[in-house]
Structure 1
Amino acid sequence: MSQVFLNKRKLFTTSAGEASTEVVSEAIRLHIGELKSKYQTNESMYMSDHEILHEKERDPWKPDNRLVINYAKYIVDTFSGYQIGVPVKVTHNEKSVSDFIDNFRKLNDMEDTEFELAKIADIFGHAFLYVYQDENKNTRVTYNSPINMLIVHDTSIAELPLFAVRYAFNESDTTGYGQLITDHEITELTIQAGGTVTFGESTPHIYGRLPVVELIENEERQGIFDSVKTLINALNKAASEKANDVDYFADAYLKIVGVDLDGEDVGDIRETRIFNFWNNGEGPLPDVGFLEKPNADTTQENLITLLKDSIFAISMVANMTEEDFGNASGTALAFKLQAMDNLAKMKDRKMQSAFNRLYEIVFNVPMASVPQDGWKDIKYKFTRNVPRNILEEAQIVAQLSGQVSDATKLSVLSIVDNPEAELEKIEKEEKEKQDSIRNNMLAMDRNTDKDLPESDDENLNGAQDE
């Protein structure tokens, strides 16, 4: 009887109360059989290894171009750069907590980690963050693709995560290895052909909860180009056929009707490129010309244009290469980016939820010098990676003066990454200016006392004696 279920949202669930060898084995078998090939297809498309490259070869005498127009990579990179190309601003009202977060982010290169995490989710539909302790007892975090990691959830309405599996195993291997990760320990796994696992040594961890966080692209866990994969493959085929037609016309067959040519004559024609035929006034005139294939250039161009436009329309990612894109007004540009902005806002919410789970784990580490519930007051600010009008932002800040706090005003400026740190810099600079003014005034007072003329003092003393 099946103990693990996989639904269309790529969600693993189980009603079993624990991660037994049978449950883990079944989860891995489902992952390998149902999902791994789909993930590898998406990865191959992003890496320019498309379906057309693996089609059956044509006869040697036929043109056989295999063109790859990699809109899968273009869509992923464009959307990732737009949505999180500007690093997320992570702030907290308490300075000690804010400093802790800053140190954690620097130690783990979180700006790069977050970008790669978002890109993986764009490709596969979801991605994972894995928290661990390094040899110096520092809390570290890394990203992981769903090709070799999965989370199994319970069957409750909340679909709470029970355990995670990270493994390395291919169908061509006889033995693989992996880790079973639960809310209290990490167990080494040995994986046999077919996905059957054997538990090895277990090591307890310090997090008190599952140290694996899932980021989902959307509730259906669909990659950003999943809906246009067939269109991309069709575009590759159409462009390749067009290239084949170009090769055909460049190497068309010459037909000569009404003249009997031997091999030497054919060689002379090929060498000199001169035709000199006559019929002595008898019979029809010789017919010389090239065999022409019916021209479908207009049809091909229309198909290519249709496929290209459909790819961007259905994926809802803007085509930045359009000629009029850079010349669009602010309102027109906003309309062009509206669909992609809607996708980005949805992705923001999913990322914020994943970050909350991440910092909940990090703040629960015993060595952390912050309250365990301090993560609840963390604020995240996502900024779109589009050209910014700094003058307009500065005008908005000026108009907000006296209505909101200085930190809120500074958060409007795209050039300010950390409003709290910027306020500290302003305060420090102001203090340095005041100290400099005070020191200058003291120096002036000392110089004034030093420069008083002695004659004036003597005259004053003489007047007092009289």
Structure 2
Amino acid sequence: MEVTQELLIKCLEAFRQQQLEKQKYQDYYDGKHDILSTYKFNPKRANMKIVVNWFKKFLQDELAFSLSNPVNYIDKTANPEYIDRIDLDFSTWEKVHNQKLMLKVNTFGHAYELRYLKDNEFKATVLTPLNCFVLEGNDADRTVQLAMHFYKENQFSEVEKVDVYLPNKIVQHYEVDGDELITKGQSTHAFINVPVTVVEANTERKSMLDDIKDLVDAYNTTISNMCNELSDFRMALIKVIGTRFETEDDISKMVEKGVIELQTGADIDYLIKNLPDQFANSTLKEIKENIYKQASHIDTNEKLSSNTSGSALQGRLITLSNKCSTIHTMLEQCIKSRLKEYFYILRIRENIEYDYRLISQKFTMNVPNDLLHLADIASKLKDIFAYETLYSLFPFVENPSVEYQKYLKERETLMESEVDLDAIGND
């Protein structure tokens, strides 16, 4: 594909349109909801605007549930050498990177991973639809033909720059001048293909916000109306019958001292507004339930009976578990692509040949586990499955291969100690 100035200008125009469409997702995550600009202002009434950020809460819950535990790598050939190498090169950055990546993916519906080398170390960073545009082909694999990364050098810089990543290790550098791109030079990257991968939240590349936005807006409006209604009448009015205050000072003294002297037959009472709160509360409850249903989440603050079984608790989590399994599936595709590029670098730099398809990933949900039950399962299956497979069942084991090697080394040390003790006893 020939990359011309005309093509890049079209990509720039498409990126600006993409920014406009995707900005609302970042705004809602940051708490900048529509109610802040669309809530009807009444100069004579309270005008509080309440934002309940369900979108951010759900995304954070999904992240904690699905990726709090690190990804375990398992070599299908039972060779620990490459697993150890992956752990060495990825352990300093991968866990946080995966969390940030999937947070952005689920915020916007899709995001991007940029691979690069720094100090001869393989690394990756996260780009979003707000600072990156990817041109994909119409082939079955939707091959990335070019990627444009928009950025400023620092928070004080006014100049917007663009790095255009192309195949065959080419990076073209530009500055944005309105609707034009000014060429600033060219450099190289380390990969044959464009080092940017599109990571999807689902096959439709839809964000959760698309399903719950109207409900969230309705919840914000309803609760804001309730708070404003209460604020307008937070002070009860004093109702006086059969007498009158001569001056405003009389009212101030009464409020200050809490005492009032009345004539015979006079009466004083508080006048309060009878608010029909049942309708508003039931509306809020119904909206909240629908938000949880549309988001496939459960209310963890809901009180449960004391005799609720473990199976029943797992049943309540089934829809959220299925959703987090989708997160794992989409991340797994990205990791396989990441490993392919990683082993390409090892082959070029160190002449290490290995098939990335022989490395599988094991994800562990961050849920309470019955370790005694898992230990019982492991002891019963130790003669059927490999130890690394059994180690991967335990959430606290970050690397089953390394854990198994530590186990073998420890056993070897113990056996040597026993031999030395026997020798001493015979002397």
Query: Measured at CA, do residues 137 and 258 of structure 1 come closer, stay the same or move farther in structure 2, by a change above 3 Å?
Result: same
TM-score after normalising by structure 1: 0.82
2:49 maps to what in 1?
66
1:236 maps to what in 2?
220
2:88 to 103, 106, 110: 103
1:207 maps to what in 2?
191
Q: Which has the higher contact order (CA 8 A, sep 6+)?
A: 2
Cα distance in structure 2, aligned partners of 1:420 and 1:267: 78
Question: Offset at 1:162?
Answer: 0.7
Residues 87-140 of structure 1, C-alpha deviation per residue, up to 9 Å, x if partnerless?
Answer: 111222333322221122124x10111111111112111122111121x22222
Query: Measured at CA, do residues 220 and 86 of structure 1 come closer, stay the same or move farther in structure 2, by a change above 3 Å?
Result: same
The answer to whether the aligner puts 1:248 opposite 2:248 as a matched pair is no
The answer to whether the aligner puts 1:317 opposite 2:297 as a matched pair is yes
User: In 2, are the aligned partners of 1:89 and 1:381 still within 8 Å (CA)?
Assistant: yes
Cα distance in structure 2, aligned partners of 1:301 and 1:40: 32
Question: Offset at 1:287?
Answer: 8.2
1:188 maps to what in 2?
173
1:176 to 156, 160, 167: 160
Question: Offset at 1:257?
Answer: 6.9
Residues 354-405 of structure 1, C-alpha deviation per residue, up to 9 Å, x if partnerless?
Answer: 111111111112115532x521111100111100110111111112132222
Residue-pair matches, total: 416
1:155 to 133, 138, 145: 138
1:274 to 260, 271, 278: 260
Question: Offset at 1:269?
Answer: 5.2
Cα distance in structure 2, aligned partners of 1:374 and 1:313: 42
Question: Offset at 1:326?
Answer: 8.5
Cα distance in structure 1, aligned partners of 2:398 and 2:413: 23
Question: Offset at 1:237?
Answer: 1.8
Residues 216-263 of structure 1, C-alpha deviation per residue, up to 9 Å, x if partnerless?
Answer: 111122223331122122212222221112222222444557766553
User: In 2, are the aligned partners of 1:390 and 1:414 still within 8 Å (CA)?
Assistant: no
1:218 maps to what in 2?
202
The answer to whether the aligner puts 1:22 opposite 2:6 as a matched pair is yes
User: In 1, are the aligned partners of 2:161 and 2:176 still within 8 Å (CA)?
Assistant: yes
Question: Offset at 1:291?
Answer: 5.5
1:94 maps to what in 2?
79
User: In 1, are the aligned partners of 2:72 and 2:392 still within 8 Å (CA)?
Assistant: no
Percent of aligned pairs with the same amino acid: 20
1:443 maps to what in 2?
424
1:364 aligned counterpart, secondary structure? helix
Larger Rg: 1
1:132 aligned counterpart, secondary structure? strand
Superposed, which structure 2 residues align to 1:122-137 within 5 Å?
122-134=106-118, 136-137=119-120
Q: How big is the alpha-carbon RMSD for the aligned residues of Structure 1 and Structure 2? A: 2.6
The answer to whether the aligner puts 1:367 opposite 2:367 as a matched pair is no
2:325 to 345, 348, 362: 345
Cα distance in structure 2, aligned partners of 1:225 and 1:133: 35
**Is there any run of 5+ residues in structure 1 with no aligned partner, and where?**
1-16, 280-285, 448-466
Query: Measured at CA, do residues 116 and 47 of structure 1 come closer, stay the same or move farther in structure 2, by a change above 3 Å?
Result: same
User: In 2, are the aligned partners of 1:175 and 1:193 still within 8 Å (CA)?
Assistant: no
User: In 1, are the aligned partners of 2:25 and 2:107 still within 8 Å (CA)?
Assistant: yes
Cα distance in structure 1, aligned partners of 2:79 and 2:116: 26
Question: Offset at 1:293?
Answer: 4.3
2:160 aligned counterpart, secondary structure? strand
Cα distance in structure 2, aligned partners of 1:177 and 1:352: 32
User: In 1, are the aligned partners of 2:84 and 2:402 still within 8 Å (CA)?
Assistant: no
Question: Offset at 1:57?
Answer: 7.2
User: In 2, are the aligned partners of 1:63 and 1:247 still within 8 Å (CA)?
Assistant: yes
Cα distance in structure 1, aligned partners of 2:344 and 2:252: 85
User: In 2, are the aligned partners of 1:89 and 1:417 still within 8 Å (CA)?
Assistant: yes
**Is there any run of 5+ residues in structure 2 with no aligned partner, and where?**
none
